[in-house]
Amino acid sequence: MLASHKRLDPASPRLAALLQEADPGVVALAWHVVAMLDEPGASILRPLRAAVQSADRQVRDAALRAAIWCGTSWAKEAVRKLAQSGDAVGLQWTAATCAEDALPLLRTLGALAGQAPAAFGLVARLGHPAMMSRCSRPWAAKTCRPHMRPARPSCA
């Protein structure tokens, strides 16, 4: 609450300590606070690159959020590299932040084919209608039964 109203000091030693905690849940929450407090171009040194490469998914996600919202110059490239390696967090942030030039990347990754729940989440985050039929086609073909098929062959 205090962070969202900018009532915390971004240079607080306690916040710096929370970013180094052993508990990934605590670290992720601390990165969410950093995203709310830090301004683009802030001079506070943070272990952001290490957090973006964390083995923990929630820490990577929160660190990427902070990097993107704070305007870190290398954030988009880090997102792209994670996505190219098939990382789910990288794929989600690519979908959320991409321009038209990232559509081929999302199309070529196997994440949109055959994994309907994850694919629909990415498509929703991407917000590009052309991707919906691409991710729903393999899923619909597996789940539509002959008696459930509409008169038009949209499930085929």
Q: What is the mean pLDDT of residues 39-62?
A: 91
- Amino acid identity for residue 92 in this structure: Q
Could you give the CA distance from residue 92 to residue 149 in angstroms, rounded to a whole number?
A: 31
Q: State CA 147 to chain mean position distance.
A: 38
Q: At residue 142, does pLDDT exceed 70?
A: no
Could you give the CA distance from residue 115 to residue 39 in angstroms, rounded to a whole number?
A: 37
Q: What is the mean pLDDT of residues 38-47?
A: 83
CB 131 within 8 A of CB 123: yes
Positive/negative CA dihedral, 45, 50, 53, 59? negative
pLDDT digits (tens, 9 = 90+) for 95-118: 777 655 666 666 655 445 555 566
Q: What is the mean pLDDT of residues 42-51?
A: 89
> Which carries the bigger pLDDT value, residue 152 or residue 11?
11
- Amino acid identity for residue 1 in this structure: M
pLDDT digits (tens, 9 = 90+) for 127-136: 555 555 555 5
What average pLDDT does the chain have? Answer: 74
Q: What is the mean pLDDT of residues 76-96?
A: 85
Q: At residue 56, does pLDDT exceed 90?
A: yes
Around Cβ 61, how many Cβ atoms within 10 Å?
21
